[in-house]
Amino acid sequence: MKYVGVDIGGSHLRVGLVDRENGLQKFESFSVPESFEDGVQIIINTVKKFDEKIEGIGLGLPGDITEEGVADASNLPQWNNQPVRRLLSDELKVPVFLFHDVAAAALGEYVFGSIKLSLPCIYFIWGTGVGGCQLAKVNEKIHISSFEVGHHVIVLDGKECVCGQRGCVETYIGGRSLAAMYGDLSQKTDEDQIWKDASKYASQAVKNTLAFFSAKQIIFGGGVVTKRPFLIELVREELTKKETFIKTPPMSLSSLEDQAGILGAAAACWIEQI
């Protein structure tokens, strides 16, 4: 059986055809267009181009997931309060499931990744934006709790954040904030001081998260870190300095890189969750 997974973030819109047994079959990636209508049309056109019988579409979205779409997505404001579920199901005549983007990426890793996850596990997205979730098993069902780790305050009266607060984690390590502060990140070498500074903030965000959520494993995904796996080592070094009775579990990079979100959004169509 085949499904479509859609992963929409602050800068990318990815659409994939996913076979339940064999994983990703087809894959297209786009920049997020400025208008919501153009974004929906890209999804519709791509699904039609796949020209396959599908059982459903899963969408991974940032922000607060509602019945029809998303609200309060600070990195995707043009999608706020738009009826994306209805528009897609009316046009494509299949069930449409909406899912938090970070939870979708974690589910993708759990179902299709090559890493055998030890649950409970924490999944961090470190990309344009920053997010997290805990993946656990309760009564043999998968339970995913998403949390806005990027919007917890790490510096009192710090830098202004898109969410309206000051001093959020995302303003110190998010790809959009780093680019606004330091310019084109693709021009920065691995030795640049900005990565050492960002890793200090990222390690504190991990430490704070572990104070609230237990984890036997931590997985990192998202564009900033998947393009620079050495960041995990820098974060690990910082965490070693902060070691307390709250121990840091093993940390690694997602095995699915930028495809985790698509695979998980598709899997959300058939995996039973609580």
Q: Residue 55 or residue 72: which is nearer to Zn ion going by CB?
A: 72
Q: Does 200 bind Zn ion (CB under 5 A)?
A: no
# residues contacting Zn ion (CB under 5 A): 5
Q: Residue 64 or residue 91: which is nearer to Zn ion going by CB?
A: 64
CB neighbours of residue 226 within 10 Å: 19
CB of 258 to Zn ion, least distance (A): 24
Helix (H) or strand (E) holding 200: helix 193-212
- The SS3 call for residue 82 is coil
Pick from 74, 212, 194: nearest CA to 132: 212
Q: Residue 5 or residue 131: which is nearer to Zn ion going by CB?
A: 131
CB of 265 to Zn ion, least distance (A): 24
Burial 36-63 (b: 16+ CB within 10 A, else e): beebbebbeebbeebeeebebbbbbbbb
CB of 220 to Zn ion, least distance (A): 20
Q: Residue 96 or residue 161: which is nearer to Zn ion going by CB?
A: 161
CB of 11 to Zn ion, least distance (A): 17
Provide the β-strand partners of residue 137: 142
- The single residue listed with the structure tokens 């999804």 is 43
Q: Residue 100 or residue 151: which is nearer to Zn ion going by CB?
A: 151
Footprint of Zn ion on 8-27 (CB under 5 A) = none
Fill in the per-residue mask, 135 to 174: x = in contact with Zn ion (CB under 5 A), - = not in contact: ----------------x---------x-x-x--x------
Measured CA to CA, the distance from residue 3 to residue 23 in angstroms comes to 10
Burial 231-243 (b: 16+ CB within 10 A, else e): bbebbbebbeeee
- The SS3 call for residue 104 is helix
CB of 165 to Zn ion, least distance (A): 5
Q: Residue 166 or residue 188: which is nearer to Zn ion going by CB?
A: 166
Q: Residue 62 or residue 108: which is nearer to Zn ion going by CB?
A: 62
Provide the β-strand partners of residue 26: 17
CB of 153 to Zn ion, least distance (A): 8
CB of 147 to Zn ion, least distance (A): 13
| Angstrom distances, CA of residue 214 to CA of 170, 173, 207 | 22, 23, 11
Half-sphere exposure at residue 30, Cβ-oriented, CA atoms within 13 angstroms: 17
Where do contacts with Zn ion occur on this chain (CB under 5 A)? 151, 161, 163, 165, 168
